Amino acid sequence: MPKLSWTIGIKPFIGATTYYTDQVLAIAYMNGRTSYLDQFKGSTMSVTLKNQTNVAANFTFGSRVVLNDDLSFIVTGISFQDYPGNTGLSTCTVHCTDYLQSSGRTYGGIIATPQLALQQLDNLYSGAGNTDIVRNGGTAVAAYTNFTGLFLQQFQKIMTLEASGAVQLSDNKVCVSGREQNNGTYFRTTFTRATSTGSNVSYQAIRRLQADEQFANSVTVQSTSNPTVTATDSTSISLYGYYNTGVSIIDANTTAETTGLGQWLANSRSDPAMESFEIDVVDTAQTQDALDRILNVWFDDTAQAKVHDLVYRVPGAGSDTTAVVFLEGTRLTVTPQQTRLTYYFSPMTLYQFFLLDNTTQGILDTSRLGW
C-alpha cells in the first residue's frame, strides 16, 4: 500500500544537507490558515526525534531545517524527554518557525510610496533580506505609510486589502497571488468520500461549519489613510438584523478600495447558509496518483493551486453534492505508520471575483462583484 515519504534535514548556508529522517518519530505542522477569518501569521513545526545519541545537539538555535528539501524552517528551541539514566528511549522535540512567521517578527521602519499592495509587500520583505516574496499579479493599491510595526501586521493588512487569500510557502519563499488571478490554475483536485481512484483524494471524515463567526451583513473597514467606512447588505439585515464585523487595511483610494472591499465582504458573508469545510485524509487510503497530487498541492510554489472540488453527501439526501472550494490551509501530522492531513476549505463564494470567461472565478449576477 503506497504512503507518503518525508525527510528532515539541516541545510547549511554552504554545503550538503545532513538528514536525520531515520531518527524521526513524529512531525506536526500547520501550513496556511484554518479559516479566511484567521490572520496570516505563519506557524511552528515540531519534529520529535530519538535522542539516545544526542542528535538534538545538531539542531542549534537559528539553524535551517528542511522538510522534503522543499520547505524551510528556522529552529527556535528544543524540549527534551530524557529517560532516567539514559537506559531507555530518550527523545527531543525540535521547534521551528516557518519563514512567514520568522520573518514576520522583523520590526519595520521603511517609507513606502503609494503602489500596488503586493509590490509594497515585496519591497518590505526584500529590505529585510531573509524571505523572498514571490508575487503574481495584484490590483489593489496600498497607501503611503511610514511603517514601524511588525512585518506580519503589515502582511495581514495588505492581504486583507488584496482579498485573494492565495498565500503559499515554498522553501524560504512566501508566494502571494492577486485576486484578479486565476488561483485555481494548477492541480485542481477532487476530494471525495468514495474510494480513491486516479488522482482523486479520498477523505475519512468531514466537518461542515455553517454561518457562525463567518456570517456578517455589516462590515466596517478601517484604513490608515482614509476615513472608516461601513458597508451593509440591506436585504440580509431586514431578515436577520445587524451582524457587524471589521477589518483593517492599508489602502490608497476610499471609493475604489475601502468602500468596495466593505461592500464585497458584506454581500459575500451575508448568507447564513454559507458553509466552510474540514476534511481528514490518510495517506494509506490513497492511490499513488492521489499521493502525488497531495504533494503537488502541498509544495506548489505559485499560490495558484487553491481551487478544488469537494464531494459530500448531506444526511438524508439521495445523492452527493459537489462544492467548489478554496483551500485555506492544511494541517500535517506524520508518524512512521501514516500521514494524516486535515484540509480547511472556504466556499468559493468568498473568492468569486470577476475573471472574464472563467466559470469558477467569474460568476456574474451575484450582486457581489466590486472594486
> With pLDDT > 90 as the criterion, what percentage of the chain qualifies?
54
Model pTM?
Answer: 0.90
pLDDT tier, 371 (very low <50, low <70, confident <90, very high otherwise): very low
Nearest to 178 by CA among 123, 134, 112, 224: 134
Dump pLDDT digits (tens) for 63-113: 999 999 999 999 999 999 988 776 778 999 999 999 988 887 777 666 666
- Specify whether the CB–CB gap between 266 and 367 falls below 8 A: no
pLDDT at 370: 46
* Most confident among 135-144, 145-154, 277-286 (mean pLDDT): 277-286
CA distances from 303 to 96, 106, 338, 361 (A): 22, 23, 26, 15
pLDDT at 369: 45
Nearest to 118 by CA among 130, 107, 126: 126
pLDDT at 340: 98
Dump pLDDT digits (tens) for 11-39: 998 889 999 999 999 999 999 999 988 88
Dump pLDDT digits (tens) for 228-277: 889 999 999 999 988 898 888 877 666 667 788 888 888 888 888 889 99
pLDDT at 110: 64
Which string of b and e fits 91-104 if b means at least 16 CB within 10 Å?
bbbbebbbbbbbbb
pLDDT at 368: 46
